[in-house]
Amino acid sequence: MFDRRQALIAFGALGGALANPAWAASEVAFSDSLTGNLSPVHDPCIIKADGLFHIFSTSRLNEGPGAIHWRTSKNLINWELKGAVMTQFPDWVKDELPDTRGAWAPDIIYTEGRYRLYYSLSMFGKNTSRIAMVSTPTLDTTRPDFGWRDDGIVVRSDARNDYNAIDSHTFIDDDGRHWLSWGSFWTGIKLAELDPKTGLLLKPKALPRSLVKRDPPGAVEAPVIFKREGYYYLFVSYDFCCRGVNSTYHTVVGRSKSVTGPYIDDRGKPMKDGGGRIVLHASLDPTGRWKGPGHCDVLSDDGRNYIVYHAYDGQNGGRATLRINTLTWTADGWPVAS
């Protein structure tokens, strides 16, 4: 498994969130029906294109077939490994991050006639990181116009910054404005506006907004913004991944009437103060098999919502594995993975 987190930091607390009976364990029949090439999958993102579902995930260059593994499915259940986005990094990587070997946490959208895939590069244990982008007019590799184009760096961070430029997610609002959220540890989750035409930062020199922060060691990362019925829902991962069955990763959510926040959980606690309603947690798995569920993406398809994530398989040596649950909603508008 590609270990990409700060394993040096101790386990964070749940803050009593598991006490809410609304999060009682439930069967996960849809996820248990997945077949095919399901591992290793870490940090998945998903998009549907021309009737086919595509999942991209974290990987190293030397993990055949290359960096950012690419899987496809016709029905969300049977998955095949299609290949990888990159077999080598763009030339600028040698100057920016000469020791990096992996491409982390991809995210993909379709806009302006192209599929824009954001990904992260980093120096392990440091916030010397880059969020970059590649794009293609089609995901159909048989078409003559298919081909990933390097669109360069979107966000930089280093020791001068109080954030870590990895784990990006792009959100397009109803008004056409584009937003990029990102962050891992340090001072948490950040947000900045993108130029819809280029996919780059609209104001590169402006300080990003802060959405989520936790007390030291600050174990929060992997934001996803999803809009439903007038609310913006912010999903993030808390605590620690990449430890196999000992991973304490889990997924929480807050919501806001504005994309810029503040995001509040169902107990009224701001996510800037470590709040968050639990959506995925190992203790909610009735089988006890799946550990550290996190780094999610959310998909809407044919009137249904799904939450896509990785978890560590207790019956397969803690291997990081693709999981997909249906996402339903309580009467007062909170997501429930089932």
Residues with catalytic function: 43, 221
Q: Are strands 52-57 and 59-60 parallel, antiparallel or unpaired?
A: unpaired
SS3 223: strand
DSSP codes of every residue in 83-115: EEEESS--THHHHH-TT--EEEEEEEEEETTEE
- Residues 26 and 286 sit within 8 Å (Cβ to Cβ): yes
Q: How far is CA 112 from the centre of its chain?
A: 22
* Amino acid letter for position 140: D
Q: Kindly provide the residue ranges of all beta strands, DSSP E only, lying in 249-289, ordered along the sequence.
A: 250-256, 277-280
Helix, strand, coil content of the chain in percent (nearest 5)? 5, 45, 45
Bridge partners, residue 35, by sequence? 78
- Residues 265 and 294 sit within 8 Å (Cβ to Cβ): no
CA pair distance 274, 43, nearest whole angstrom: 22
CA pair distance 207, 161, nearest whole angstrom: 10
SS3 18: helix
CA pair distance 61, 100, nearest whole angstrom: 10
The token pair at 61 is 């260059």
CA pair distance 169, 228, nearest whole angstrom: 17
